[in-house]
Amino acid sequence: MASKSRPSYQVSVLPVTVFAHLIVIAVTILVFVWLLHFLEGLAFKSNIKAKIFNVVPMPITYYLLDCFYTALRSDVQCFDFFGIVLQVHPFLMFIGFVLVVGEAIMAYKTVPAKKEVQKVFHLTLHFIAPICGILGIYAVFKFHHEVGNPDMYTLHSWLGMSTICLFGLQVPSSI
């Protein structure tokens, strides 16, 4: 008895992941153009409130080590040295919840390794995303405090906080 050959409806994942990565690269470039050109650049510390990071020659690791050393010997808050203002919020939210979570979702198809390695990569990226989100929320509250604006007064802020909370609530169900 001859077996019938059935048509395959499976789609190759390669074109979809390449397209997704190209879109992320394009959006990342657009975000950097927006931040650098239209929002007056990047600055760690600046009197101009529109800046976020000050591109300095010393690596961030140096600042983190100095921060923790300072925090150990005094009552200085560790992350006050960043001087982060509002525009760090869109940068961190994009990096954390679009780029990093997108890569985490695609990790099982794009990482050419064993299932255990893919899972570790996936979990690592999902661990990085809420850190970016928390720092982004910290930046917004810090900016509101510096400018004197009230917190949580727009629909954007309530939807954003709900998104962060729901992202955190999904973790116990995924483990």
The string of pLDDT tens digits covering residues 17-47 is 888 889 988 988 888 887 777 766 665 455 6
Q: How far apart are CA 106 and CA 92, in angstroms?
A: 20
Phi-psi region of 133 (alpha: psi -120 to 50; beta: other; left: phi over 0): alpha
Please state, in angstroms and rounded to a whole number, the distance separating the CA atoms of residues 9 and 58: 53
- The model carries a pTM of 0.64
Tokens of 142: 């810090």
User: At the top level of CATH, which class does the domain 13-174 belong to?
Assistant: mainly alpha
Q: What is the pLDDT of residues 2-17, one digit of tens each?
A: 556 666 666 677 788 8
Per domain, the residue ranges of the chain are 13-174
How far is residue 103's CA from residue 112's CA, in Å, rounded to a whole number? 13
